[in-house]
Amino acid sequence: GAGVSQSPSNKVTEKGKDVELRCDPISGHTALYWYRQSLGQGLEFLIYFQGNSAPDKSGLPSDRFSAERTGGSVSTLTIQRTQQEDSAVYLCASSLKRGYEQYFGPGTRLTVT
């Protein structure tokens, strides 16, 4: 079946602009996760959604970062007023439910110039 998909695959933006990254999880997966991968910090958890429950936002690095998940499926990660330190690969994952194995998408490479 189809895996996790993300768009765009690459995004170059100017410092100070807002960006939106999209994730389509595996059909039927109720849990969705966003991570960030950068050279200096490795893989960092950002946010977790489970069904209609309140998301776990504990990994979001600042209030410039937000995410939503509409209809329990597609998710959008928004970064406002981008900074150069936001440059990284943003990875989305989904799992059948919390605590189950996570399957990752190919990622969005964000470059802030």
Partner 1 sequence: GEDVEQSLFLSVREGDSSVINCTYTDSSSTYLYWYKQEPGAGLQLLTYIFSNMDMKQDQRLTVLLNKKDKHLSLRIADTQTGDSAIYFCAENSQAGTALIFGKGTTLSVSS
**Please, which residue, 63 or 101, has the CB nearer to partner 1?**
101
Whether the CB-CB separation of 65 and 39 falls below 8 Å is answered with no
* In the complex, least distance from residue 16 CB atom to partner 1, rounded to whole angstroms: 28
Residue-level length of the chain = 113
**Please, which residue, 15 or 98, has the CB nearer to partner 1?**
98
Tell me how far the alpha carbon of residue 60 is from its chain's centroid: 10
* In the complex, least distance from residue 4 CB atom to partner 1, rounded to whole angstroms: 8
- Give the burial string for 50-88 (b: 16+ CB within 10 Å, else e): beeeebeeeebeeeebebebeeeeebebebeebeeebbb
**Please, which residue, 12 or 43, has the CB nearer to partner 1?**
43
- Residues making contact with partner 1 (CB under 8 A): 4, 33, 35, 42-43, 45, 48, 50, 56, 59, 91, 93, 98-99, 101-107
* In the complex, least distance from residue 45 CB atom to partner 1, rounded to whole angstroms: 4
